[in-house]
Amino acid sequence: MIVRTLAAGLTLALIACTGDTDPTTKTDTTDDPTDDTVEDTVDTADNGGDEGFEPVAVGFEIEGAVDAEGNLTSWLDADGDEISTIIIMTFASKDFFSTGADDEACIVIAPYTPKGRLLAGDHFPTSDKLPMTEAYDEALDLDITNTNCGGLVNEKLFGADAAALLTPFVGARIGYGWRPMETTDDIYDTLGQGTLDDEEILGGLFTQYFAFTDTAGVFEGDALSIGSSFGFNPKTKELLLDPKDKTLLLWQNVDASVAGNPDGLGSLGPVYFRSSPIFYPFYDRFAEDLSVGAP
């Protein structure tokens, strides 16, 4: 389910620091690395546990804004606080994908602030071999204290503060990119009929890519998840609301945004965007040193 409400305050950061529940809790269809596809609500409340869970997968999602030149930028939330583009990582156990249990997942949040977009010739390769509209490549500025994983993950394996779990991702090279969604995309087939029948919603969705260095040393973007784009004023940094319902964000048509860019940069912007998470197997997907090749 796509969330269109505007969160107040540094909601996501507060979840990570305190375990408070996000009033715009996201329910997403995600790929279980154990081959079961389920729909779960990620509730990050800290319920503790004697042993703590052992992560089998880590999910990535992104929330941010793009200016008219295609650069990632900040936006204002409902309280008027300015927030930078962020990457949200969710560590989850095998049981999370079958039960959605509160104490079987935890999150950590990091700013994602590349100095600029990549030129087309510098885009990282993609799993589907299709060209991206925009792409970015940056080392993750991860603060391992900005998390609720301590007390949830197995303390014997990762420490009371979960440092052994999170530290490998400090400085990790993460690529992000997108292009307008196509009917031939595999993720297109995951959309419900209600979404397919709604031109406004369908026009605001796009195919996105996350790239990491894998165990073979390959840095490649996987087109396995969906992004949602909404109206954004790059001058005031305010998010645009639906005139028919001021509690909802205004959908921004991806194709119209690309075609209407006066500089011809092929940018998605100016938009505010949110993504659905994509989960990867934790132990066999990532290289030992995730920072190789980072800017």
pLDDT score for 147: 93
CA–CA gap between residue 5 and residue 247 (Å, rounded):
6
pLDDT at 174 over 50: yes
Find the mean pLDDT for residues 187-205: 85
Q: Does residue 295 lie within any of the structural domains?
A: no
Tokens, residue 104: 């079987």
Q: Does residue 293 lie within any of the structural domains?
A: no
Residue with tokens 């840095």: 219
Taking alpha carbons only, the member of 174, 152, 173, 172 closest to residue 161 is 152
Q: Does residue 206 lie within any of the structural domains?
A: yes
Find the mean pLDDT for residues 216-245: 91
pLDDT at 283 over 90: no
Q: String of b and e for 86-97 (b: at least 16 CB within 10 Å)?
A: bbbbbbbbbebb
For residue 186, name the pLDDT band (cuts at 50, 70, 90).
Answer: confident
Tokens, residue 207: 């195919």
Taking alpha carbons only, the member of 85, 68, 78, 182 closest to residue 130 is 182
Contacts of 235 (CB under 8 A, 6+ apart): none
Going by the DSSP 8-state scheme, the letter that residue 78 receives in this structure is: T
Domain assignment of residue 197, given as a range: 11-285
pLDDT score for 257: 57
Tell me: the pLDDT tens digits for 55-105?
999 999 999 999 888 889 999 988 899 999 999 999 999 999 988 888 899
For residue 259, name the pLDDT band (cuts at 50, 70, 90).
Answer: low
Q: Does residue 292 lie within any of the structural domains?
A: no
Find the mean pLDDT for residues 236-244: 93
Average pLDDT, whole number, for the chain?
Answer: 79
Tokens, residue 216: 């073979």
CA–CA gap between residue 102 and residue 90 (Å, rounded):
12
Q: How many CA atoms lie within 13 A of 289 on its CB side?
A: 5
pLDDT score for 139: 93
Q: What is the dihedral of CA 266, 72, 286, 123, to 10 degrees?
A: 30
Is cis: bond before 243, omega within 30 of 0?
Answer: no
Taking alpha carbons only, the member of 171, 191, 193 closest to residue 181 is 191
Taking alpha carbons only, the member of 169, 209, 167, 204 closest to residue 186 is 209
Q: What stretch of H or E contains 13?
A: helix 11-18
pLDDT at 209 over 90: yes
For residue 4, name the pLDDT band (cuts at 50, 70, 90).
Answer: low
Q: Does residue 2 lie within any of the structural domains?
A: no
Q: Does residue 201 lie within any of the structural domains?
A: yes
Q: Does residue 166 lie within any of the structural domains?
A: yes
Q: Burial-class residue 134 by CB neighbours within 10 Å (0-12, 13-18, 19+).
A: buried
Domain count, the chain: 1
Let me know: does 190 contact 29? Beta carbons within 8 Å: yes
pTM (2 decimals)? 0.80
Percentage, residues of the chain above pLDDT 70: 78
Percentage, residues of the chain above pLDDT 90: 45
Of residues 120 and 267, the one with the higher pLDDT is: 120
Let me know: does 275 contact 228? Beta carbons within 8 Å: yes
Let me know: does 151 contact 160? Beta carbons within 8 Å: yes
Q: How many CA atoms lie within 13 A of 181 on its CB side?
A: 26
Find the mean pLDDT for residues 7-32: 33
Q: Does residue 290 lie within any of the structural domains?
A: no
For residue 42, name the pLDDT band (cuts at 50, 70, 90).
Answer: very low
Find the mean pLDDT for residues 221-242: 91
